[in-house]
Amino acid sequence: MSEHHYAVIMAGGGGTRLWPVSRKEKPKQLLPLLGEDTLFQSTVARLKDLFPPERILVVTVEEQAREMREQAPQIPAENYLIEPSPRGTASVVGLAAMVLKKRDSQAAMAILPSDHFIRNVDLFHYLLKAAFDVAENGYLVTLGITPTLPSTAYGYIQQGKPLDGNYKYPVYTAESFKEKPNEQTAQQLLRMGDHSWNSGMFIWRADTILNEIGKQMPDLSEALNAIGETWDAPERIETLNKLWPQLKNETVDYGIMENSERVAVLPAGGLGWSDVGSWSSLFEVLLPDMNGNISTNSALHLPHETHNTLVYGGHDRLIVTIGVDDMVIIDTGDALLVCKTDQSQRVKEVVEHLRKHRQENFL
């Protein structure tokens, strides 16, 4: 990997879809959801051999930064970029690009969510290298994930023409972006074969993305310039605190990618990727037994006539399931979730309900 290549880990979110394990104070990326390491630690570890810690940046909010510094002390303190408040991924990406451009005028960066799972790390490394090659030619590269089921939980990218160039991996123009589809449309997209899941992983040069922001989000571009001017001065925080809250809350996808003509997509199969976006996704990430069951603490799970069921947590108690099919059972100290797997996207509605009813202790 070139010395001008950087990784930028985005970790601002406080998702609610893995409640009751993830909480307001302990968002998903800071939790050891899938083993001993937290998702954030796994994301950092996955970059080993590719980027030295000095070339790994983290963009996050103050509330999470302290915990992250503890979890990944090898990343230099100045590489933690603190958003005064979450303002969408477009702002995050812009901030990181601005900072990197100032450090290194030739910088190129891989934007990586902090809370995803990737089983095949070797392939991930290979794809990143291939993507940086494409990015060096001025493209906004996005990693697509070849769908393995008609998921309604992901956005989709349709690939267009193959991109000319002597690349290590097939790469295409992006024909269109599609929001999370309904079941029927998802079936159709899967059959069409030219649609990938939008993974939220992007690779581009800092100057490419800053140019694109200049064209498509001039307000953001202007704010970034102003922030950049005082970035290395004592007024950094003051400027940030003043300008950041005024930014439009926008995603990279809607704000930039959908209307850009420089988007390239690398449709990756076999990566073993998941956004760990709901409890049902754990069936892809952890390996079920012969009955389709997953127990994170199998010594204390007694399944009778139980199939395709996830039993998560319950580290100090016995969990018996009888005649249970296609369920997730999430057992934490103060809350228990029993949910039909195909409805696990609705967990966020429960969190919303708790918020409305001010049951703060369960949030």
> By CB under 8 A, is residue 315 in contact with a second copy?
no
> By CB under 8 A, is residue 356 in contact with a second copy?
no
Of residues 121 and 350, the one with the C-beta less far from a second copy: 350
Tell me the closest approach of the beta carbon of residue 126 to a second copy, in angstroms.
39
In three-state secondary structure terms, 312 is strand
Q: What secondary structure does DSSP assign to 162-198, as a single string? A: EPPS--SS--EEEEEEEPPP-HHHHHHHHHHS-EEEE
| Helices 206-216 and 218-229, packing angle to 10 deg | 130
Tell me the closest approach of the beta carbon of residue 186 to a second copy, in angstroms.
19
Tell me the closest approach of the beta carbon of residue 244 to a second copy, in angstroms.
35
> By CB under 8 A, is residue 257 in contact with a second copy?
no
N-term to C-term CA, the chain = 42
> By CB under 8 A, is residue 335 in contact with a second copy?
yes
Tell me the closest approach of the beta carbon of residue 303 to a second copy, in angstroms.
10
Q: Which part of the chain contacts a second copy (CB under 8 A), choosing from 43-51, 227-235, 284-292, 318-326?
A: 318-326
In three-state secondary structure terms, 159 is strand
Q: Are 46 and 121 in contact (CB under 8 A)?
A: yes
> By CB under 8 A, is residue 316 in contact with a second copy?
yes
> By CB under 8 A, is residue 109 in contact with a second copy?
no
> By CB under 8 A, is residue 329 in contact with a second copy?
yes
Q: Cα-flanking dihedrals φ and ψ of residue 212, to 5°?
A: -65, -40
The amino acid that residue 331 corresponds to is D
> By CB under 8 A, is residue 322 in contact with a second copy?
yes
Q: Long-range pairs for 296-301 at CB < 8 Å and ≥24 separation?
A: none
> By CB under 8 A, is residue 277 in contact with a second copy?
no
**Binders of a second copy among 16-75, rule CB under 8 A?**
20
CA distances to 7, 12, 308, 322 from 50, in Å: 9, 23, 37, 47
Tell me the closest approach of the beta carbon of residue 152 to a second copy, in angstroms.
15
> By CB under 8 A, is residue 296 in contact with a second copy?
no
Of residues 93 and 351, the one with the C-beta less far from a second copy: 351
Q: Which part of the chain contacts a second copy (CB under 8 A), choosing from 100-108, 192-200, 236-244, 311-319?
A: 311-319
> By CB under 8 A, is residue 334 in contact with a second copy?
yes
Tokens 């290395």 belong to which residue?
A: 232
Tell me the closest approach of the beta carbon of residue 224 to a second copy, in angstroms.
42
Measure the CA dihedral 125/49/118/141, to 10°. Answer: -40
Of residues 158 and 321, the one with the C-beta less far from a second copy: 321
Cβ neighbours around 348 below 10 Å, total: 15
Tell me the closest approach of the beta carbon of residue 280 to a second copy, in angstroms.
11
Out of 75, 217, 264, 347, point to the residue binding a second copy (CB under 8 A): 347
Q: Long-range pairs for 296-304 at CB < 8 Å and ≥24 separation?
A: none
Largest CA distance in the chain: 65
Tell me the closest approach of the beta carbon of residue 353 to a second copy, in angstroms.
7
> By CB under 8 A, is residue 363 in contact with a second copy?
no
- Separation of alpha carbons 292 and 309, rounded Å: 7
Of residues 104 and 325, the one with the C-beta less far from a second copy: 325
> By CB under 8 A, is residue 350 in contact with a second copy?
yes
Residues in the chain: 363
Q: Cα-flanking dihedrals φ and ψ of residue 80, to 5°?
A: -90, 115
- Separation of alpha carbons 298 and 151, rounded Å: 28
Out of 183, 289, 342, 352, point to the residue binding a second copy (CB under 8 A): 342
**Residue numbers of the site for a second copy (CB under 8 A)?**
20, 302, 304-305, 314, 316-324, 327, 329, 331, 333-340, 342-344, 346-347, 349-350, 353-354, 359, 362
